[in-house]
Structure 1
Amino acid sequence: MTNPSSDSAGAPAQPVSPPHVDLEVKDAQIIFNRVWAKLEDEFGRENLRFPKELILLGGAPGAGKGTNTPFIMKVRSLTCEPIVVSALLDSPEAKRIKDAGGMVGDREVVEIVFRKLLEPQYADGAILDGFPRTRVQVECLKLLYDRMIELRREFYDTPLRRYFRQPVIHIMVLFVDERESVARQLRRGRIVAEHNEEVRRSGVGELMEERATDQSEEAARHRYRVFKEKTYHALQSLREIFHFHFINAQGPLEEVQENIIKELQYQSSLELDPQTFDQLRRLPLASEIIVHARQELVRRLDDYEFQKSELFHRVLDFIEARIMPIVKRHAISGRAQINSEDPLLNDPEALAMLIDIFSERGYHAVVDLHRIEIPEQVDLKTGRISCRMKKVFRIMVSFLGSEIRRGA
């Protein structure tokens, strides 16, 4: 009779799986250098042309990233679809890594994201949703910015300079508190469930994704805490380096979008090359010259009356007699053009008075001088034509016209 114990003792021992070893190098500098060297070797240094503007978009679950992304694109005049990292990780490249038994770690994420950013369609700018999410990715982003600045300096005095512009990186976080986040996630779950139930019942429409975290309060809270502990802190660590925009997304959509507009207003000092900005700053901003425009207008009009009353009254008489009858006939359109050869308008000060008078009365006036040569004499021997110069002042007056129709 065979002894089972002796058989088992004589059988070869089953191999024991070694404990899993995470072979990914966690040193951000090493990861970045490997990815950069690979890209430089593949594309060439002169072709490492990253976007001029990057908006790194993060948000608490339910904060409205998906809802507000198209609006952010419109505010910043971006036309390319946002780069969603979670979608990139479902790309064929990422799937090849997973199919080969690998894990999509920081090195793979950094390389996939950097490759995507090099696509020509993102040259002017891109919204990057879901990056960085770890400390390693944060450090790699800092190193990328340093390299972008380095490339800019390297190619600044070459014909390739236009491809290496001053980079601008925005960190934008849409934030809601935990209570609001959980409520929005669960509400979204109910809406999706009702929609899918109707689709299954009627056979009309398309099923929507049902997220497990939208079905359970506990799961929704866990998702929010993961955001706070990982993504939020990763983005917060960049606020001292890049332009950080904290958007309160608790309120209604209109209020949230108003906050976004305020945060992303154009700022030339941040976006232009410093040399370009230094040249432009000699001219005042429109917002600066209008600050005291009303007070300055009042002062000038009073000066006209008390110091140059004779000319001032002549200009008023001219407007009343020659211009206003025509303006009144254009009350519906709100736009009138008057041509005049009156010698009064040859005086630059009279023109200034005319414009100020219309401004005070609520109109917008623009005066354009046209010089027309009028033939007067022909020399029959030489064929030379003598002309006199005719000066025609075209006065454009615009204002808010009348609405002839109200309603249907």
Structure 2
Amino acid sequence: MVNIILFGPPGSGKGTQSANLIQKYGLIHLSTGDLLRSEIGAQTPLGMEAKKVMDQGQLVPDEVVIGMISSKLDANPEARGFIFDGFPRTSAQAEALDKLLALKKTSIAAVLSLEVPEDELIKRLLNRGLTSGRSDDASEEIVKARIVEYHNKTAPVADHYAKYGKFKKIKGNGSIDEIFSLLSKEIDELVSEKV
């Protein structure tokens, strides 16, 4: 099983690249954002609470997210691997994920971080906000708060995986195909190591 964390700030292209990687490698996309949005769409109590937190540019509590991830892993016992998108975002989440995966006799193979300049991120998110209806992409203030939150909380996650030699920066601006090619090169090496 090859488990990869696709890392990067909001608007870095994680969702787009995850879709391409899933198709190529047969991995299962585990997007905490998608899991949460489906709860919000269903207007569950968890979804409504999450929406309040997300609308303020803040992160949803760890125990909620870890529980959703554990259920998703259990529901897919034959998976070739997972792409984690949008999680972990803090050192505590990284440690909780490592423990959860160890219990399930697997681990993270690599963290691939999409690196995109901040002005490009803001432009991408505001454009997405015009078409997606996502309230967390609707204003520049909220977008900037999300980017600041990302940098404040997630830099330690990069350090966590870097100490195990699992963290790799990938140029995240350019064409979708160029970025996909860079990601594929890294994953091809991981897949060949597992064979």
Give the alignment's TM-score, normalised by structure 2.
0.75
CA distance in 2, matches of 1:97, 1:189: 23
* Alpha-carbon distance, 1:62 to partner: 1.9
Counterpart residue type for residue 173 of structure 2: Q
Counterpart residue type for residue 186 of structure 2: E
Which residue is equivalent to 2:115? Answer: 175
1:73 paired to 2:29: no
Pick from 136, 142, 152 the counterpart of residue 98 of structure 2. 142
1:60 paired to 2:16: no
Counterpart residue type for residue 86 of structure 1: G
Render the CA deviation track for 1:123-168: whole Å, top value 9, x for unaligned: 321222222123321111222344345xxxxxxxxxxxxxxxx655
Q: Secondary structure at the match of 1:120?
A: coil
Measured at CA, do residues 112 and 171 of structure 1 come closer, stay the same or move farther in structure 2, by a change above 3 Å? same
Pick from 11, 28, 31 the counterpart of residue 84 of structure 1. 31
Render the CA deviation track for 1:384-404: whole Å, top value 9, x for unaligned: xxxxxxxxxxxxxxxxxxxxx
Counterpart residue type for residue 178 of structure 1: E
Q: Secondary structure at the match of 1:237?
A: helix
Give the alignment's TM-score, normalised by structure 1.
0.39
Pick from 203, 206, 211 the counterpart of residue 134 of structure 2. 211
Kept after mapping to 2: 8 A contact 1:169/1:242 = no
CA distance in 2, matches of 1:111, 1:213: 23
RMSD, aligned α-carbons: 3.2
Which residue is equivalent to 2:162? Answer: 239
Pick from 109, 113, 131 the counterpart of residue 87 of structure 2. 131
CA distance in 2, matches of 1:128, 1:99: 23
Render the CA deviation track for 1:296-326: whole Å, top value 9, x for unaligned: xxxxxxxxxxxxxxxxxxxxxxxxxxxxxxx
Kept after mapping to 1: 8 A contact 2:12/2:121 = yes
Counterpart residue type for residue 99 of structure 2: L
Pick from 158, 178, 187 the counterpart of residue 127 of structure 2. 187
Structure number with the higher helix fraction is: 2
Which residue is equivalent to 2:56? Answer: none
Q: Secondary structure at the match of 1:57?
A: strand
Render the CA deviation track for 1:179-200: whole Å, top value 9, x for unaligned: 111122233345x2xxxxxxxx
CA distance in 2, matches of 1:118, 1:105: 21
- Unaligned regions of 5+ residues in structure 2, if any? 54-59
1:9-28 paired onto structure 2 within 5 Å: none
Bigger RCO (CA 8 Å, 6+ sep): 2
Kept after mapping to 2: 8 A contact 1:173/1:246 = yes
**Moved >6 Å (runs of 4+):** none
**Greater Rg, structure 1 or structure 2?**
1
Pick from 211, 214, 220 the counterpart of residue 143 of structure 2. 220
Measured at CA, do residues 72 and 117 of structure 1 come closer, stay the same or move farther in structure 2, by a change above 3 Å? same
Render the CA deviation track for 1:324-369: whole Å, top value 9, x for unaligned: xxxxxxxxxxxxxxxxxxxxxxxxxxxxxxxxxxxxxxxxxxxxxx
CA distance in 2, matches of 1:260, 1:98: 32
Kept after mapping to 1: 8 A contact 2:2/2:191 = no
Percent of counterpart pairs with the same letter? 29
CA distance in 2, matches of 1:261, 1:122: 22
Measured at CA, do residues 88 and 242 of structure 1 come closer, stay the same or move farther in structure 2, by a change above 3 Å? farther
CA distance in 1, matches of 2:108, 2:93: 18
Q: Secondary structure at the match of 2:11?
A: coil
Number of residue pairs the alignment of both structures matches: 184
CA distance in 2, matches of 1:121, 1:65: 24
